[in-house]
Chains A and B, each alone.
Chain A
Amino acid sequence: MTAPAPDASAPDLENVVMAARHVAKSYGAVKALKGVNFDIHRGQVTTLFGENGAGKSTLMKILSGVIQPSSGEIIFEGQPVTLQSTIDAQALGISIIHQELSLAPNLNVRDNIFLGREISGPSGVDFAEEDRQTRRLMAELQEDIDPRTPVEHLRLGQQQLVEIARALSVNSRVLIMDEPTSALSASEVDVLFKVIRDLTARGVSIVYISHHLEEALQITDHAVVLRDGAMTAYAPRADIDLEWIVRHMVGKNFNLGSPPTGHTMGSAALSIRELTVVDSHSGQNVVDGLSLDVASGEVVCIYGLMGAGRTELMECVAGRLRPASGHVLLHGRPVDGLTIAQRIRAGLALVPEDRQRDGLVQTMSVGRNLSLASISDFTRGFLTQLSAERRIITRTIKDVTVKTDGPDAAIGSLSGGNQQKVVIGKMLATGPSVLLLDEPSRGIDIGAKAEVFGLLADRAKTGLAVLFSTSEVSECLSIAHRIIVMRRGRIVAEFTHDATKEQIMAASGESLVA
């Protein structure tokens, strides 16, 4: 390490505009942040690096008043401050551009930019003045968008720029940008970087978060690396390179298991042939003529950045999305045209990415969530057999080791990891021969991750074909026999378990200039 980490001492008042000291945040049993010290340098760009779930977004939400830390303090210009809400943060000149856009799609660009801060004139809102300021902001961003255009008519990248314009319009002193370039084209990124340099020249301090490492290296003045909720490294730009970031980001492997061995792999359980999925909004191919085989007993990992098409691929194979062309075969038999229910009965099950939105029924108990996908297995004639259901639930709770007060407990009473086990257990209870898991480790702690991967490895030994996706490179090198790298809907590389993290990340486009 080339520079000492910011320690517990008071921040350097001259160079640090805002700082976090010993900031921790827990969600139930999950520690998202474990006592982080973080300095935002005055008039410079400080970039926060880290894998998904490392705690970057949590830290940014704390600094912008969206959530409150469980412990620790925030220091602004040398004074400890309490940010109860985003309004408190805005009063201090701190604003944030969220990763997920927070625009009202039905309102136009101008109304979005001035939402909640409308300029009053003698007769109501001074729309002319708002229009003028919006035009000026758009000119600054070199984007020719009419202030009266409804936001829903804009491309995603343009919407991102509107979001940035809104943050610029409040004359922020500290501007937090969480993945601002994920939807931008290369030329838009250039413009954004020019704007960032203008802002820093004017004394605005920027916190920057990006998965595109080299892109971030172009713009940043300081680098801070988070891993598993703790800060692992800190250095000014001059002292670091790409290799330094990757080394500190992924760290030593927490043992997430190794590919299961000692069983023979069967023939192809799942075959994907030239599959193409078209996004209904943009009309682009989100999955582009992709072919892939997964054998019985094999574990295959799909790695890719956000928007690489992993989710669409899985949802299409599971029957939720219709393919534009191509075929899906299960044990050599085509399943095209089958409904989700028919595919589940045929042995093809999906554990979706977002368990709150797609995995769990919050109004039902743990037990009823577990038995939801196998209702037909305990229905005789018209009637559900409650004792048979109970057997399935008890067995599944034991199989996937859900920690719960019992089958009748509310699903919301479980931790994230146990909720995820319920979703996985629900699909395993259907007795699948192919299991798809879209980001099964999302939002669960490292211990639960290891348990989930152990469970999948055990099932693979008994012949289950497992295809899981991840955006954390360290998870690729756990139980997977093969690692497939997806980018823009295509397979761009394939690795075995011997690959290095750097190879995988390079193939995904993560470390390349956008």
Chain B
Amino acid sequence: MSDTLSTATKPPQNPLWNAILTALDLLLRGRAFFALIAIIITFSILSPRYFTLGNMLIMTNHVAIFGLLAIGMLLVILNGGIDLSVGSTLALSGVFAGFLMQGVELTGLGVVLYFPVWAVVLMTLALGGFVGAVNGVLIAFLKVPAFVATLGTLYVARGVALLMTNGLTFNNLSGRAEYGNTGFDWLGFNRIAGVPVGVYVMFTVAIAVTFLLMRTSFGRWLYASGGNMRAAELSGVPVKRVQISVYVLSGMCAAIAGLVLSSQLTSAGPTAGNTYELTAIAAVVIGGAALTGGRGTVLGTLLGAFVIGFLSNGLVIIGVSSYWQTVFTGAVIVLSVLLNSIQYGRPGSRS
């Protein structure tokens, strides 16, 4: 390995060539950023309605849902795993929140309990964390492959959401003043300084997770155990705890996304978030994370989510058919994985 490194990275002497290589390297490393810039410029030229404050905010609000899922997904992918259940967990969380907002009737006592919104939010987060914990225990202790374990949870969570609503949708989420449970719609509907609350939620989670990754021992454990679990374990990293934690955090991110989405729509349906897990994985990959684990950043993942969101919105605005949108999105994903393998496949970057 090391001899190929020394020969392959021998720099050519030509300074112009070196400058081109440096520029290409920069382009490769910042590809998600440059892709986003290119998308914004292209669609701004094609449509005057694209680059307006209003449209930017609408798009960002839309991106927030995928961004939240993708941040949770990033943690799992950094650990070398995958979480297919986030779309279903999103729906289950939304339905669960809707169920709590309708009031819980205790049949034996003839009482209907109405929870304040903060309690609904906390219980929904706990549910998301619970779904993640089930995934984590299946994977870390029962050695079920992550793909299969979370595929199972994908079905179970979706099924439970359908059972809870009998396939229908909770529409009445606004609560009533006399029960003291109003304000649920604030999360997705309201704006602070013109910016939707969901966008603030996404950026708050992004900053918190960035902090978790960069400045806590948990972050270091995560990068180490994703890069080489055996080496991390022998260095004293509690690898199983880390593995369970990432799925719990991913489940909680999905729950937050579920809350924001049902608040945005002021309704909670059991079919929400179908195939969103795939969009979240795509965002993480476009953001430069390695599916083998150990490499990736929150910033890259957010950029990935923005690339997908801004691209599909742009295509809608210029009137491209939704069939073509699907094709374009797929092409972007394949291209970014291709670039990932160029970046990480370079000699010496991995044995």
Q: How far is the CA of A99 from the CA of B75 in the complex (A)?
A: 39
Q: Least Cβ distance of B113 to chain A in Å? A: 36
Q: Does A434 contact B (CB under 8 A)?
A: no
Mark each residue of chain B from 197 to 233: 1 if its CB lies under 8 Å from any CB of chain A, else 0: 0000000000000000001110111011011101111
Q: Is the Cβ of B349 less than 8 Å from the Cβ of A412? A: yes
Q: How far is the CA of A383 from the CA of B219 in the complex (A)?
A: 10
Size bin of chain A's contact surface: 35 or more
Q: A363-B295, A368-B220 are in contact. Are A26 and B3 (CB under 8 A)?
A: yes
Q: Does A340 contact B (CB under 8 A)?
A: yes
Q: Is the Cβ of A384 less than 8 Å from the Cβ of B217? A: yes
Instruction: Specify which of B1, B2, B6, B223 is in contact with A363 (CB 8 Å cutoff).
Output: B223
Q: Is the Cβ of A339 less than 8 Å from the Cβ of B238? A: yes
Q: Is the Cβ of A356 less than 8 Å from the Cβ of B351? A: yes
Q: Is the Cβ of A384 less than 8 Å from the Cβ of B220? A: yes
Q: Is the Cβ of A341 less than 8 Å from the Cβ of B231? A: no
Instruction: Specify which of B228, B233, B290 is in contact with A360 (CB 8 Å cutoff).
Output: B228
| Residue among A344, A345, A357, A412 having the largest count of chain B Cβ atoms under 10 Å | A412
Which of A217-225, A371-379, A450-458, A496-504 forms contacts with chain B? A371-379
Q: Is the Cβ of A364 less than 8 Å from the Cβ of B5? A: no
Q: Which residues on A sit within 8 Å (CB–CB) of B238?
A: 339, 341
Interface residues of B in 308-351 (CB under 8 A from A): 347-351
Q: How far is the CA of A28 from the CA of B217 in the complex (A)?
A: 34
Mark each residue of chain A from 24 to 36: 1 if its CB lies under 8 Å from any CB of chain B, else 0: 0011111000000
Instruction: Specify which of B6, B232, B293 is in contact with A28 (CB 8 Å cutoff).
Output: B6
Instruction: Specify which of B232, B233, B349 is in contact with A410 (CB 8 Å cutoff).
Output: B349
Q: How far is the CA of A410 from the CA of B2 in the complex (A)?
A: 12
Q: Is the Cβ of A363 less than 8 Å from the Cβ of B235? A: no
Q: How far is the CA of A174 from the CA of B3 in the complex (A)?
A: 29
Q: Least Cβ distance of A284 to chain B in Å? A: 23
Q: Does A413 contact B (CB under 8 A)?
A: yes
Q: How far is the CA of A27 from the CA of B231 in the complex (A)?
A: 24
| Residue among A26, A359, A361, A382 having the largest count of chain B Cβ atoms under 10 Å | A361
Q: Is the Cβ of A357 less than 8 Å from the Cβ of B227? A: no
Q: How far is the CA of A410 from the CA of B232 in the complex (A)?
A: 17
Name the CB-closest residue of B to A342: B236
Q: Is the Cβ of A372 less than 8 Å from the Cβ of B237? A: yes
Q: Is the Cβ of A372 less than 8 Å from the Cβ of B224? A: yes
Q: Does A161 contact B (CB under 8 A)?
A: no
Q: Least Cβ distance of A368 to chain B in Å? A: 7
Q: Does A74 contact B (CB under 8 A)?
A: no
Mark each residue of chain B from 1 to 44: 1 if its CB lies under 8 Å from any CB of chain A, else 0: 11101100000000000000000000000000000000000000
Q: Is the Cβ of B227 less than 8 Å from the Cβ of A363? A: yes
What would 23 A/B residue contacts be, using CB atoms closer than 8 Å? A26-B3, A28-B2, A28-B6, A320-B233, A339-B238, A340-B234, A341-B237, A357-B230, A358-B228, A360-B231, A361-B228, A361-B294, A362-B227, A362-B294, A362-B349, A364-B224, A368-B223, A372-B220, A372-B235, A379-B216, A384-B215, A412-B350, A427-B235
New A-B pairs, 15, CB < 8 Å, besides A318-B234, A412-B5: A340-B233, A356-B351, A357-B230, A358-B231, A361-B223, A361-B232, A362-B227, A362-B350, A363-B294, A363-B295, A368-B223, A372-B235, A375-B217, A382-B215, A413-B5
Chain A residues close to B by CB (< 8 Å): 26-30, 70, 318, 320, 339-341, 344-345, 350, 352, 356-364, 368, 372-373, 375-376, 379, 382-384, 386, 410, 412-416, 426-427, 430
Chain B residues close to A by CB (< 8 Å): 1-3, 5-6, 215-217, 219-221, 223-224, 226-228, 230-238, 290, 293-295, 347-351
